[in-house]
Amino acid sequence: MKLGIYCDSGINGGHEEMLKRFMLALVECAHVEALHILVPTANEPLYRYVSELASAHPKVGTIGLSYTAESIHGNVFTLLRMVRATAATLRTLRLNKLLIAQGTIASGIAGLLAARRARIRTVSYLPLVDEAPVNASRSGKIKWLIKRALYRVPHEYVTLNDHLCSKLNRLAPNARVMILENYVDDRFSRSTLTKSAARAALGLPDDGTTIIAHVGRLNFQQKRQDFLMQAIERHADAFARTLVLIVGEGPDAARLQDMIDASPTLSACVRMVGPKKDVLPYIVASDALVLPSAYEGVPLVMIEAVLAQRPIVVSRVSGLDSYLPDAMLFPAHDHEAFVERIFAARDVPLAALAGEFRRRFSREVFDAQAQNVLLHTGGAGGARGAGAGATHQHSDVLAK
C-alpha cells in the first residue's frame, strides 16, 4: 500500500508529536510499500524530523510544502492556489490513502480539499471536535454551517477516544471513525529520578515549598493560563508557600508575563521557565500539575504525569473524566474547587492508575492500532451496518 501523510501546521506541538509517532509505526509496517510525507519547510523541527526519517528509511519520501496553514489563513485565493498545486503533486504519487493531520476540522483544509480534488481517499487525524455554538452571532452561525459541511468531506477519521468518536458520529454519519489512543515513552514510568534530585538539578527549592507546574502551550483560549492566574490571586493565602512553574511557549506568553509583572501576588509565586525539550524533570519535581483547559483532546502531559505518579488536576471537559478520578477533576469555571483540588491532590493514590496507563498507552498498543486503522480497506458502516452510521474500533487492550 502507498500511503501519504499531510501536515501543514507551522507549530511543532503535541499533535505534531503524535503524528511523528504515527509515522514511525507506519514506517515499520511491512504492508506499507511507500510513505510520502508532505510538511512545510517553514516548520523547521518537523521538516528536519521527516527528512531524517527519509534518510534512514528508503520507503519514506519527503515533500516540502511552500506554505503553512497559518500563512494562508484568511486568504481564499492563496488557499485555492495551494489546493490546486498540492492536488497536482498528490496525483503524481498515486496514493491509496492520505492521512491529514487536522488539529480541528478547519485546519489542514488545503490538504483535505487537495486530496478530494485528486480523488484520493482521505483520513483525518483529528484530536479536537467542535461544539455547535450557543447564542452565536450571524457570522458565527455561518462559520458553523461551513464547519458542518467540512466534517462531511473526509472519508475516514482517526480520533482519540469514545467521547470524540461519538461527536464525530453525529457530525459525519457516513464516515468511518476509528480510535487511536496516544502513547507515551515508558521512561516516564521507569525513571529513577527522585523529587529531591529533580529539584536540585533544576535549581528549585526543596525546603517544604509546594511546587505546582503547568506544562503546555501558552494559549489562553484553550489552556487558560489566565484562569490559573485568577485562581492564584483570588486565593493568595493558599499559595503563600508555593512556587508555580509555567513550562512552555505560545502566542500568549507576553500577555502572561505582563499579568505576572503587574501583580505582586503573582510575581511572588509564579515563574515562567519557557519551553523545555524534556519536561520529565519538571513533572518529577512537582507536587502536582494543573491543566485548567477549556477543551482538550487527550493531553500528553496528563498521561506523562500519571505515569510518573504525579497528580494532575484538570478541568472536567472533553471527556477527560473517563481518564481520571474525581479527586483530580474540577468544574471548569470554579476557581475555588480548582484550588481545593490542587492542594489535596498529593494525597490521591496513583499506583493503580499508573499501571493502567502503562498498559493502555504503550507503544506496542499504539503501533498495532496505528497500522490497523490506516491499512484497513473497508468503507463506512462496518459491523454496525451502513445504515447505522460510522463505526469506531479499538482493541480490547484499550478498553477500560
Per-residue pLDDT tens for 115-152? 999 999 999 999 999 988 888 899 999 999 999 999 99
Q: Are residues 199 and 324 in the same domain?
A: yes
Q: 151 and 58: one domain? A: yes
- Regarding whether 310 and 167 lie in a shared domain, the answer is no
Same domain as 254, residue 158: no
Where in the sequence is the domain holding 227, given as residue range(s)?
A: 187-358
Q: Looking at the 3D structure of the chain, how many domains does it have?
A: 2
- Look at residue 390 in the predicted model and tell me its pLDDT: 38
| Maximum C-alpha span of the chain | 64
Give the integer Cα–Cα distance in Å for 359 and 362: 6
Q: Are residues 192 and 217 in the same domain?
A: yes
357-362-365-369 Cα dihedral, nearest 10 degrees: 90
Q: Does 83 map to a domain?
A: yes
* 272 and 335 together in one domain: yes
Q: Is 296 within the bounds of a domain?
A: yes
* Whole-number pLDDT of residue 378: 55
Give residue 303's identity as a one-letter amino acid code.
I
Which stretches of the chain score pLDDT less than 50?
379-400
Q: For residues 343 and 340, what is the distance between their CA atoms, to the nearest angstrom?
A: 6
323 in the same domain as 306: yes
Whether residue 397 lies inside any domain: the answer is: no
What is the phi/psi pair of residue 206, to 5°? -130, 50
Contacts of 328 (CB under 8 A, 6+ apart): 311, 312, 313, 314, 341, 345, 348
Cell numbers for 216, please give them: 503546555
Residues 167 and 78 in one domain: yes
Residue 154 and residue 208 in one domain: no
Whether 273 and 300 share a structural domain = yes
Does residue 179 sit in the same domain as residue 191?
no
Residue 92 inside a domain? The answer is yes
One domain, residues 12 and 57:
yes
Domain annotation covers residue 225? yes
pLDDT of residue 306: 98
| Structure confidence at residue 372 (pLDDT) | 87
pLDDT of residue 133: 87
Specify if 252 maps to a domain: yes
Bridge partner residues of 5 (DSSP): 37, 99
- Residue 377 has a pLDDT of 61
Tell me if 399 is assigned to some domain. Answer: no
Cα–chain center distance at 136 = 26
**pTM (global) more than 0.75:** yes
Judge whether 400 lies within some domain: no
**Nearest CA-CA partner of 17 in 46, 57, 41:** 46
Q: What is the pLDDT of residue 375?
A: 81
CATH number at 383 reads 3.40.50.2000
